[in-house]
Amino acid sequence: MIVRKFSEAKAYEAPNHREYKSYRLFGAEMGGSQSLIFGISHFLPGGGAGPDASPPEKIYYILAGELTVIAGGKETVAKAGDTVYIGPNESREIVNRGHEVCTIAVAVAPVK
Protein backbone atom coordinates (compact mmCIF):
# COMPACT_ATOMS: atom_id res chain seq x y z
CA MET A 1 0.00 0.00 0.00
CA ILE A 2 1.12 3.52 -0.74
CA VAL A 3 -0.47 6.53 0.90
CA ARG A 4 0.46 9.81 -0.71
CA LYS A 5 -0.43 13.15 0.82
CA PHE A 6 -1.58 15.87 -1.56
CA SER A 7 1.38 17.94 -0.36
CA GLU A 8 3.60 15.30 -2.04
CA ALA A 9 1.94 15.70 -5.45
CA LYS A 10 4.05 17.06 -8.28
CA ALA A 11 2.79 19.96 -10.39
CA TYR A 12 3.02 19.36 -14.13
CA GLU A 13 2.25 21.15 -17.39
CA ALA A 14 -0.13 19.39 -19.76
CA PRO A 15 -0.07 20.26 -23.47
CA ASN A 16 -2.88 22.40 -24.91
CA HIS A 17 -4.30 23.30 -21.46
CA ARG A 18 -5.02 26.86 -20.32
CA GLU A 19 -5.83 28.65 -17.05
CA TYR A 20 -5.31 25.56 -14.91
CA LYS A 21 -3.03 23.84 -12.40
CA SER A 22 -2.49 20.08 -12.41
CA TYR A 23 -0.88 17.79 -9.86
CA ARG A 24 0.23 14.21 -10.42
CA LEU A 25 -0.20 11.81 -7.49
CA PHE A 26 0.52 8.37 -9.00
CA GLY A 27 2.01 6.99 -12.20
CA ALA A 28 4.70 8.31 -14.53
CA GLU A 29 7.48 9.99 -12.52
CA MET A 30 5.45 9.67 -9.27
CA GLY A 31 5.58 5.85 -9.39
CA GLY A 32 3.25 3.57 -7.50
CA SER A 33 1.24 2.54 -10.57
CA GLN A 34 2.29 0.97 -13.84
CA SER A 35 -1.18 0.88 -15.39
CA LEU A 36 -2.51 4.40 -14.90
CA ILE A 37 -1.65 8.00 -14.14
CA PHE A 38 -3.78 9.72 -11.52
CA GLY A 39 -3.92 13.39 -10.64
CA ILE A 40 -5.98 16.40 -9.67
CA SER A 41 -6.58 19.40 -11.93
CA HIS A 42 -8.02 22.83 -11.10
CA PHE A 43 -9.50 24.88 -13.96
CA LEU A 44 -10.13 28.58 -13.41
CA PRO A 45 -13.24 30.13 -14.96
CA GLY A 46 -12.52 30.27 -18.70
CA GLY A 47 -9.82 27.60 -18.38
CA GLY A 48 -9.84 24.32 -20.22
CA ALA A 49 -8.08 21.96 -22.59
CA GLY A 50 -8.22 21.06 -26.27
CA PRO A 51 -9.73 20.63 -28.66
CA ASP A 52 -7.48 17.69 -29.36
CA ALA A 53 -7.25 13.92 -29.22
CA SER A 54 -4.64 11.59 -27.78
CA PRO A 55 -4.13 7.81 -27.64
CA PRO A 56 -4.78 7.19 -23.92
CA GLU A 57 -8.28 6.79 -22.54
CA LYS A 58 -9.20 9.24 -19.78
CA ILE A 59 -11.67 9.39 -16.92
CA TYR A 60 -12.61 12.68 -15.25
CA TYR A 61 -14.43 12.76 -11.91
CA ILE A 62 -15.78 16.23 -11.11
CA LEU A 63 -15.02 17.06 -7.47
CA ALA A 64 -16.20 20.70 -7.44
CA GLY A 65 -17.68 23.20 -9.86
CA GLU A 66 -18.76 22.27 -13.35
CA LEU A 67 -17.03 21.49 -16.61
CA THR A 68 -18.41 21.69 -20.15
CA VAL A 69 -17.23 18.67 -22.15
CA ILE A 70 -17.44 18.67 -25.94
CA ALA A 71 -16.82 15.31 -27.64
CA GLY A 72 -18.26 13.33 -30.51
CA GLY A 73 -20.40 16.25 -31.62
CA LYS A 74 -22.08 16.40 -28.21
CA GLU A 75 -21.76 19.04 -25.52
CA THR A 76 -22.64 18.35 -21.89
CA VAL A 77 -22.09 20.03 -18.54
CA ALA A 78 -20.57 17.72 -15.93
CA LYS A 79 -21.11 18.76 -12.32
CA ALA A 80 -19.71 17.67 -8.96
CA GLY A 81 -20.25 13.93 -8.59
CA ASP A 82 -20.38 13.28 -12.36
CA THR A 83 -17.88 11.09 -14.20
CA VAL A 84 -16.79 11.50 -17.84
CA TYR A 85 -15.05 8.84 -19.98
CA ILE A 86 -13.04 9.89 -23.06
CA GLY A 87 -12.01 7.02 -25.33
CA PRO A 88 -8.66 6.55 -27.07
CA ASN A 89 -8.12 9.12 -29.84
CA GLU A 90 -11.55 10.66 -29.17
CA SER A 91 -11.46 14.38 -29.91
CA ARG A 92 -12.52 16.40 -26.88
CA GLU A 93 -12.53 19.89 -25.50
CA ILE A 94 -13.18 20.80 -21.87
CA VAL A 95 -14.03 24.32 -20.70
CA ASN A 96 -14.91 25.78 -17.31
CA ARG A 97 -17.73 28.13 -18.30
CA GLY A 98 -18.78 28.61 -14.69
CA HIS A 99 -17.75 31.28 -12.21
CA GLU A 100 -16.02 28.95 -9.72
CA VAL A 101 -12.85 26.90 -9.91
CA CYS A 102 -13.60 23.44 -11.26
CA THR A 103 -11.61 20.64 -9.62
CA ILE A 104 -11.41 17.22 -11.23
CA ALA A 105 -9.71 13.93 -10.48
CA VAL A 106 -8.10 12.55 -13.66
CA ALA A 107 -7.15 8.96 -14.43
CA VAL A 108 -5.24 8.35 -17.68
CA ALA A 109 -4.02 5.06 -19.10
CA PRO A 110 -0.39 5.52 -20.14
CA VAL A 111 0.40 4.80 -23.79
CA LYS A 112 2.41 1.59 -24.09
Tens digits of per-residue pLDDT, 54-107? 999 999 999 999 999 999 889 999 999 999 999 999 999 999 999 999 999 999
Res 93: pLDDT = 98
Provide the whole-model pTM.
0.94
Whether 5 has a pLDDT exceeding 80, the answer reads yes
Please, what's the largest Cα pairwise distance for the chain? 41
Q: What is the mean pLDDT of residues 51-55?
A: 95
**CATH code, 9-108:** 2.60.120.10
- Other C-beta atoms within 10 Å of 19: how many? 15
Q: Is 81 exposed, middle or buried (0-12, 13-18, 19+ CB in 10 A)?
A: exposed
Show me where the domains of the chain are located: 9-108
The answer to whether residue 27 scores a pLDDT higher than 80 is: yes
- Assess contact for 28 and 37: CB atoms under 8 A: yes
pLDDT at 111 over 80: no
